[in-house]
């Protein structure tokens, strides 16, 4: 729950809290603080708030996930230990309850992902959310670019509408400026030198949840183009993810590819080969695959046999020809087809980014150690998570956690 204004401040003007960034983390921090009685002003550099939130809903409006708490925290990699407390403070159940409070009912899909009921769009939720913020007295200032810190507590802004610059000295600040993917939404990582100016370093930005590049032949590109491979298992090192991938002219994309981005990135950074292993029939044991292959009659074409024995249709035969060659061991090719990865897609195309403010630079409440009173939330922090509801949940939860930190600070 949000912390109330302390009794000794109840008769005085409520302290002002500035939130810089109008994405999910910033807006939820603003709501929680306004509900606790603080005056809140949100500053967003774009003409509207929630742009990346709306873009994230284009591929399916996946708010969170119904996975159990222990496994959920593990999705945040090295930051998982910290996220256990953050998720407990604002859990997936809390997120669903929050959405319901805005009139947006949700349900858990067969994959565990949590979606709003079919009639609701991301724009519906954002409109309802903005109405709630207005009711709470939250002031939204769009087209305001943060230029850096001023003095011990001040913030320097540029009003892009008027061209004027000004300084604000709030009682506390929440920075929620996003990472560096989808820069057209305002998440461009421009803030890193502003924090560096006060001695706060940032880890380099790297693409996360992005496509992988494969050096397909011209024949393969012309023959296949863009085609799905369903019900597969994709591995990189010791990690395996099941699902559907999409063959594209540049390589591969899809949930399993995105989930394995950290492993691919690490292999490429180490200078070694990055290779996917593709299992086209993960529900069949290799021995069963071998038995079915042994039944192939002489003269039966490979495409016809794969379709009848394994229900594998184009583009699988072309994929096998591309990666395994005509004299391939089909048992190995169908269950562990190696796909060499030459690189990852550019950061600007990635769904999310790795990098940002290290957790060593903030305390347990996400307050900057080098600037007391300034808190950091959302994708500004150096964490990453796979798609499937974990990204949005991480942003919401860190926003709520930072708001709690502000309330504790201002309560003394």
Q: pLDDT-derived band of residue 326, with 50, 70 and 90 as boundaries?
A: low
Q: Each residue of 195-239: pLDDT tens digit? A: 999 999 999 999 999 999 999 999 999 999 999 999 999 999 999
Tens digit of each residue's pLDDT (9 = 90 or more) over 291-322:
999 999 988 999 999 999 999 999 999 999 99
Answer whether residue 89 shows pLDDT above 50: yes
Let me know whether 167 and 220 are in one domain.
Answer: no
Give the count of alpha carbons within 13 A of 404, CB side only: 18
248 plus 330 within the same structural domain? yes
β-strand pairing of 274-279 with 227-236: antiparallel
Cross-strand pairs, 339: 276
Count of helices and strands (H, E) across the chain: 15, 20
What band does 6 get if pLDDT is binned at 50, 70 and 90?
Answer: very low
| Residues 167, 78 share a domain | yes
Res 5: pLDDT: 47
pLDDT at 328: 65
User: Per the domain annotation, does 185 fall within a domain?
Assistant: yes
- Mean pLDDT, residues 275-285: 96
**Range 102-111 average pLDDT:** 92
Mean of the pLDDT values across residues 77-81? 89
Q: Kindly state whether residues 259 and 194 are assigned to the same domain.
A: no
Give the pLDDT score at 184: 87
- Beta bridge pairs of residue 374: 173
Q: 339 is in which domain, residue-wise? A: 212-344
Report whether pLDDT(9) > 50. no
User: Are 317 and 355 in a shared domain?
Assistant: no
Find the mean pLDDT for residues 365-371.
98
pLDDT of residue 77: 87
> In the predicted model, is pLDDT for residue 330 greater than 50?
yes
- To the nearest whole percent, how much of the chain has pLDDT over 90? 84
Report pLDDT for 214.
Answer: 97
Taking the C-alpha atoms of residue 153 and residue 174, their distance in angstroms, rounded to an integer, is 12
Same domain assignment for residues 231 and 179: no
Task: Give the residue from 62, 132, 39, 44 showing the smallest Cα distance to 394.
Answer: 62
Say whether pLDDT at 368 is over 90. yes
Q: Which stretches within 66-212 are classed as H helix?
A: 69-74, 80-89, 92-101, 122-135, 192-196
- How much is the pLDDT for 327? 57
pLDDT of 8: 42
Phi, psi of 409 (to 5 degrees): -60, -50
Note whether 309 and 380 are same-domain residues: no
User: What average pLDDT score do residues 227-256 get?
Assistant: 96
Question: Which pLDDT belongs to residue 111?
Answer: 85
Are 185 and 285 part of one and the same domain?
no
pLDDT-based confidence at residue 12 (cuts at 50, 70, 90) = low
Asked if the structure places residue 391 within a domain, the reply is: yes
Q: Which of 302, 329, 344 is the last residue of a domain?
A: 344
Of 344, 373, 388, the one marking the end of a domain is 344
Average pLDDT, the chain: 93
What is the band of 174 on the pLDDT scale with cuts at 50, 70, 90? very high
Q: Are residues 162 and 262 in the same domain?
A: no
pLDDT at 11: 52
Q: Do residue 69 and residue 203 come from a single domain?
A: yes
Which of the 8 DSSP states describes residue 189? -
Residue 255, domain member (yes or no): yes
Could you tell me if residue 43 is inside a domain?
yes
CATH of the domain at 149: 3.50.50.60
Handedness of CA 282, 287, 292, 298 (dihedral sign): positive
Span 52-72, pLDDT tens digits: 888 876 666 889 999 998 899
CB 252 within 8 A of CB 272: no
Kindly report the length of the chain.
412
Is the whole model's pTM more than 0.85, yes or no?
yes
Q: How far apart are CA 26 and CA 31, in angstroms?
A: 9
d(CA 366, CA 376): 6
Confidence of residue 1 (pLDDT cuts 50, 70, 90): very low
Contacts of 312 (CB under 8 A, 6+ apart): 280, 281, 306, 334
Q: Which residue has the higher pLDDT, 7 or 22?
A: 22
Q: What residue has token string 């709470």?
A: 136
In-domain check, residue 1: no
If you average pLDDT over residues 346-364, what whole number do you get?
95
Has residue 96 been placed in a domain?
yes
Higher pLDDT: 266 or 60? It is 266
Dihedrals phi, psi of 300, to nearest 5 degrees: -75, 125
Predicted pLDDT of residue 398: 98
CB atoms within 10 A of CB 406: 30
Domain tally, the chain:
2
In a domain, 2, yes or no: no
Reply yes or no on whether the pLDDT at 353 is more than 90: yes
Whether residue 24 is found in the same domain as residue 157:
yes
Q: Do 76 and 105 sit in the same domain of this protein?
A: yes
Per-residue pLDDT, averaged over 4-28, amounts to: 79
Asked if pLDDT for residue 175 goes beyond 90, the answer is yes
Asked if residue 111 is part of any domain, the answer here is: yes
Of the three residues 307, 327, 344, the one that is the final residue of a domain is: 344
Per-residue confidence (pLDDT) for residue 2, from 0 to 100: 46
Percent of residues, the chain, with pLDDT higher than 70: 95
């Amino acid at each position: 729950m949000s912390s109330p204004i302390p009794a000794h401040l109840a008769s005085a003007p409520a302290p002002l809290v500035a939130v810089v960034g109008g994405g999910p983390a910033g807006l939820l921090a603003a709501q929680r603080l306004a509900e606790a009685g603080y005056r809140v002003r949100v500053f967003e550099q774009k003409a509207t708030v929630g742009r990346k939130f709306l873009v994230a809903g284009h591929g399916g409006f996946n708010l969170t996930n119904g996975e159990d708490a222990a496994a959920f925290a593990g999705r945040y990699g090295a930051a998982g230990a910290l996220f256990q407390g953050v998720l407990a403070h604002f859990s997936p159940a809390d997120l669903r309850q929050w959405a319901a409070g805005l009139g947006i009912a949700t349900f858990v899909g067969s994959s565990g992902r949590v979606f709003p009921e079919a009639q609701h769009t991301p724009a519906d939720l954002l409109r309802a959310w903005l109405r709630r913020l207005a009711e709470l007295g939250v002031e939204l200032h769009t087209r305001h670019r943060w230029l850096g810190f001023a003095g011990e507590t001040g913030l320097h802004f540029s009003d892009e509408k008027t061209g004027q610059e000004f300084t604000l000295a709030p009682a506390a600040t929440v920075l929620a400026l996003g990472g560096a993917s989808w820069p057209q939404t305002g998440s461009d990582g421009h803030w890193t030198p502003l924090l560096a100016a006060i001695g706060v370093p940032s880890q380099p930005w790297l693409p996360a949840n992005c496509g992988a590049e494969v050096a397909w032949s011209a024949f393969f590109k012309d023959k296949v183009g863009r085609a799905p491979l369903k019900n597969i298992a994709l591995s990189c090192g010791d990690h395996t993810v099941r699902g559907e991938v999409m063959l594209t002219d540049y390589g591969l994309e899809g949930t399993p590819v995105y989930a394995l981005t950290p492993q691919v990135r690490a292999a490429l950074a180490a200078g070694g080969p990055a290779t996917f292993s593709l299992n086209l029939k993960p529900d069949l044991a290799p021995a069963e695959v071998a038995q079915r292959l042994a039944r192939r009659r002489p003269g039966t074409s490979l495409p016809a046999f794969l379709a009848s024995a394994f229900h594998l249709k184009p583009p699988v035969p072309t994929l096998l020809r591309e990666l395994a060659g005509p004299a391939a061991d089909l048992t190995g090719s169908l269950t562990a087809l190696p796909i060499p990865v030459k690189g990852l897609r550019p950061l600007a195309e990635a769904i999310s980014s790795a990098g940002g403010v290290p957790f060593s630079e903030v305390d347990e409440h996400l307050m900057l150690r080098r600037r007391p009173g300034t808190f950091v939330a959302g994708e500004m922090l150096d964490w990453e998570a796979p798609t499937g509801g974990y990204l949005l949940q991480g942003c919401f939860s860190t926003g709520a956690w930072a708001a709690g930190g502000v309330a504790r600070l201002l309560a003394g």
